Amino acid sequence: MKYASDRKLMLPAFNTTNLEMTFAIAKGLNNAGLPGYIQISSNNLRLSDPETIVYLTKKALKDVDVPIGLHLDHGKSYEDVKACVNAGFTSIMIDASSLPFEENIKEVKRAVQYCHFYGVPVEAELGCLQGKEEDIVNEADAKTDPDMVLDFVNETGCDLLAVAVGNVHGLDIEPKVDLPLLKKISEISPVPLVMHGGSGIPFETIQAARAYNLLKVNYGSDLRKAFISTFGKAYAKNDNEVNVIGLSLDAVENVATEAKKLVKIINE
């Protein structure tokens, strides 16, 4: 975070699901020569475990020369937070945004106390995003209330604040980012801001948002689409295609190319 702030850079956070995506994200950021995050959500812990994710990430970062953090995205429980910190994650999000305001504060504060003991920064969320995050659908659309921001940050001690300003998860709903609201929040928040649902938001909007203390922007769908379409196009061309290793290597290249493109564009 300090590295990016000192250099006036925006940090992309790219969601991974497996080995190929993890290696591709690291490769894309390294090829761009710009920092960012590899992140995985609590939802994806069904496929793996924190220790395995840390192991894969360390392998992926072996020959990398830019700062890359490993972030828990949408941590859904204190237990998930503890497991990821203990395994070696370098950044954490605790997402209690679906709870009432006071309960959200309580859950975030609990996570912050644990994470800060180990020197790990914490992202929290105030407000709710519509859309689909992997296979979890949220129909709520509750924008961040600026009047709650200062109390929330001061009470929780969080290091980053994820906001809902018309951004959405997934590609099925059109985002309508309210930049005046983001500006208002930025003037109140004592910590940098995060925008989830970067996929689908026009690049000029993301670039404009940099002026409003936006430090981190999340991308999931763009990279997943690059990964899945590699296999989909091959199957459409030949439904007897069985070259898993060849297609996996192609997918790594395609995702790395997309990650490089995104990190460069948002930092223009």
Active site residues: 73
Q: Give the integer Cα–Cα distance in Å for 28 and 226.
A: 13
Q: Reduce the DSSP state of residue 237 to 3 states and report it.
A: helix
CA atoms of 195 and 71, how far apart (whole Å)? 15
**Cβ-based neighbours of 154, under 8 Å, separated by 6 or more:** 190
Distance CA 192, CA 111 (A): 18
User: Rg of the chain over CA atoms, in angstroms?
Assistant: 18
Interatomic CA distance for residues 236 and 150, integer angstroms: 52
Which is nearest to 92 in space by CA: 5, 162, 141?
Answer: 162
Which of these, 88, 79, 89, lies nearest to 111 by C-alpha position?
79
CA atoms within 13 A on the CB side of 246: 5
Instruction: Please list, in sequence order, all residues whose beta carbon lies within 8 angstroms of the beta carbon of residue 168, skipping any fewer than 6 positions away.
Output: 129, 130, 131, 174, 175, 197, 200
> Could you give the 3-state DSSP secondary structure of residue 68?
strand
Which letter does DSSP use for residue 28 in this model? Answer: H
What whole-number distance in Å separates Cα of residue 10 and Cα of residue 256?
18
Residues 266, 268: Cα–Cα separation, whole Å:
6
